[in-house]
Amino acid sequence: MIRFAGWVKSRPVLVRAVAVASLACGLASSSVVAAHEGEAYPSAGNDIHNMASLQRGARNFMSYCSGCHSAQYVRYNRIGADLGISDDDLRATLIQDPDTKVAETIRSALPKEDAKRWFGNAPPDLSLIARSRGADYISAFLKGFYLDPSRPNGVNNLVLKGAAMPHVLASLQGVQTAEFKMVPVAMADGSTVKQPEFEKFVLTTKGSMTPEQYDEFVRDTVNFLVYMGEPIQAKRESLGIWVILFLLVFTALAYGTKKEYWKDVK
């Protein structure tokens, strides 16, 4: 695992291309079952009204995800308009291909044939991944990798058991182990069996980020994925407040008018 972390640091561009490709392959796979399916995950803590977080999330997405993933429902200039990023800054910080125009959607740089050969399936589009899986799920997934020698890639995931994704963000988060305890579970036939129950993670190898920094990295990335799922959400919520205020004022005026017209009726 230490050798893998060194490989990550020596090939940052390839790792950025592979990172969320493997993530989304794991998230989209129907052949694996979530470890805690049906349970509530810890809050991602994302805030789509936090412009600085969204800008950092856009940087994270373009650095670690767009090498393999498209976002076919989102255009660069829409991101720029919503997040306060000029066209020049878009070209300087987000758009990696000089031939790409700001009016284009985010396209994967990885050919589908190579993606299928590397991952078994082409990495899915991430435009709606947060709406499909939820912010809390993705956040927990990105924080849920732990050492598991029984797995081909040496790691497993607490949220998505048997995920095929290697922990390509280990250079950032570090390497952690998971501690389990055996607890009795009643079966349908009345018998009792012992099954492992997760207790805690233990960080065994530090990454380039502190746990707090990695939490912020994940929060910003998830925040941007939530934004991409519905770019109008922040404006919709802000507009909704004014609509409610208008309805309250209109209701008061309508009620006053009704009282005035009917005050002489016995």
Return the pLDDT at 248: 94
Q: Quote the pLDDT of residue 65.
A: 81
Q: Residue 203: its pLDDT value, please?
A: 94
**pLDDT value at position 39?**
57
The verdict on 30 and 65 lying in the same domain is yes
Do residues 140 and 247 share a domain? no
pLDDT of residue 264: 78
Asked if the model's pLDDT at residue 103 lies above 60, the reply is yes
The band of 167, judged by pLDDT with boundaries at 50, 70 and 90, is: confident
pLDDT higher than 90, residue 38: no
Q: Indicate which CATH number applies to the domain containing 132.
A: 1.10.760
In the predicted model, what is the mean pLDDT of the chain? 82
The one-letter amino acid code at 239 reads L
**Residues with Cβ within 8 Å of residue 88, at least 6 apart in sequence:** none
Cβ pair 66, 39 in contact under 8 A? no
Q: What is the pLDDT of residue 29?
A: 37
CA–CA separation, 161 and 210 (whole Å):
25
User: What is the percent of the chain where pLDDT is above 70?
Assistant: 84
Domain that holds residue 262: 234-266
Task: Kindly give the interhelix angle for 12-28 and 112-119, rounded to the nearest 10 degrees.
Answer: 70
In a domain, 180, yes or no: no
Flag whether pLDDT at 212 surpasses 50: yes
Among the listed ranges 13-27, 66-80, 84-98, 197-211, which one has the minimum average pLDDT value? 13-27
8 and 48 in one domain? Answer: yes
What pLDDT band is residue 237 in, cutting at 50, 70 and 90? Answer: confident
Give the predicted TM-score (pTM) of the model.
0.74
| Tens digits of residue pLDDT in 127-151 | 999 999 999 999 999 999 999 999 8
| Count of the separate structural domains present in the chain | 2
Instruction: Tell whether 83 is covered by a domain.
Output: yes
**Which residues 6+ apart lie within 8 Å of 47 measured at CB?**
53, 223
Q: Are residues 218 and 265 in the same domain?
A: no
pLDDT value at position 217? 96
**Higher local confidence (pLDDT), 36 or 44:** 44
Give the phi and the psi of residue 264 in degrees, each rounded to 5. -95, 0
Res 266: pLDDT: 62
What's the token pair of residue 180?
């389990």
- Is residue 17 in some structural domain? yes
The one-letter code for the residue type at 123 is P
Residue 200 placed within a domain: no
Longest dimension (CA), the chain: 90
- Whether residue 20 has pLDDT greater than 80: no
In a domain, 175, yes or no: no
pLDDT, position 19: 44
For residue 15, pLDDT beyond 70: no
CB of 73 closer than 8 Å to CB of 105:
yes
Q: How far is CA 131 from CA 223, 244, 263, in A?
A: 12, 26, 52
Residues 6+ apart with CB under 8 A from 100: 76, 107
Spatial contact of 72 and 200, defined as CB atoms under 8 Å apart: no
Q: Does residue 126 share a domain with residue 13?
A: yes
**pLDDT digits over 107-126, tens only?**
988 787 887 777 666 778 88
**Rounded Cα gap, residues 184 and 122, in angstroms:** 41
- Flag whether 151 is in a domain: no
pLDDT of residue 206: 94
CA 172 to chain centre: 16
Sequence-ordered strand ranges (E) for the chain: 71-75, 105-106, 145-147, 155-157, 174-186, 192-206
pLDDT for residue 247 is more than 80: yes
Q: What is the pLDDT of residue 68?
A: 77
